[in-house]
Amino acid sequence: MCGIFGSLNFTTYSKLFKANRVRGNFASGSMYVGPIGEYIRKDDDKYLLTGENYRCNLFNYNMFLGHTQSPTGSKRDFSPETTHPFECDKWVVAHNGIIENFEQLKIDHLPTHSNPVDSSIIPALLDSKYIGDDIYCISEVMSLLTGTFSCWIYSGWTRNIYLVRSGSTLFCDYKNSNFSSIEIPDICTETLSENIVYQLTAEGLTNVGTFAADSPFFII
C-alpha cells in the first residue's frame, strides 16, 4: 500500500505528506515543478518524519507532488531505482495500486524492461507510445493496464501534470488542485472520478480526456 498526494501550496503539501505516512513509511519520493525546471528527490524512512527535508529553493516551484511507499516484499533495502517516482525519458510517474498484467505488458510491449517494480512500467509505456499528444498517450497507456491504480503523471514534453484513477482511492479538491490517497478534512474530501484524465492547473483540476479501464471491484 502506498500514498500519492500533491498541492500547489507547499504548506498544504507538507500536511498531505504527514497524513499519507500511514500509507507507507519505508520510502518517499517528491517532485517539485516550476518555471525554471523540476526537482526530484527520493529518501528512505529517516527523512519521513516531516516531509520537509528538502535541498532546494522552494520559491522556484509552484507545484508539489509526492509519494509514500511501503516495501514490496517483507525484506528489501532502500534503493532509488525501486522508489517512486519512476522516470523514463521525459515522463515521471508515481503510482498507488497493483498492475496485475505487469509481466504480460513486458512481453507484449517492453521485453527489455528490467525494473522489478510494477509501477515502473507506466512511464516506460508512456515513452514508448508517445507520438506528440499527452492526452492520447496517457489514455492509450491507462487502457492497457489491468488492476487498480491512481497516478500522478508529469510530461516533460509539455510540462503538464495529470491525475488518473481506476479502482484505487484518490481524494481531491477539484477547485484548488489538491489530491491525496487519504481523505483530509478541509483539504481533500471529494472522490476523484474514475477513468478520467485530469490536468492539474492553477485554476483547478480539469477534465481533459477519458480511458477504458480493466480493474477489479476492490479498493486499495
Cβ atoms within 10 Å, residue 128: 15
Q: How open is the CA angle 142-178-8, to the nearest 5 degrees?
A: 105
d(CA 42, CA 48): 11
Q: Across residues 204-217, what is the average pLDDT?
A: 84
Contact 195/151 with Cβ under 8 angstroms? no
Cell 532509488: give the residue. Answer: 80
Query: How far is the first Cα of the chain from the last one, in angstroms, to the nearest whole number?
Result: 7
Q: Which of 53-62, 144-153, 194-203 has the lowest mean pLDDT?
A: 53-62
* Class of the CATH domain delimited by 3-210: alpha beta
How does the average pLDDT of the chain come out, rounded? 90
Q: Is 80 exceeded by the pLDDT of residue 72?
A: no
At 68, the pLDDT band (50, 70, 90 cuts) reads: very high
**9-59 residue pLDDT tens:** 999 999 999 999 888 778 889 999 999 899 999 888 655 544 455 667 888
Q: Please, which residues bridge with residue 8 across strands? A: none
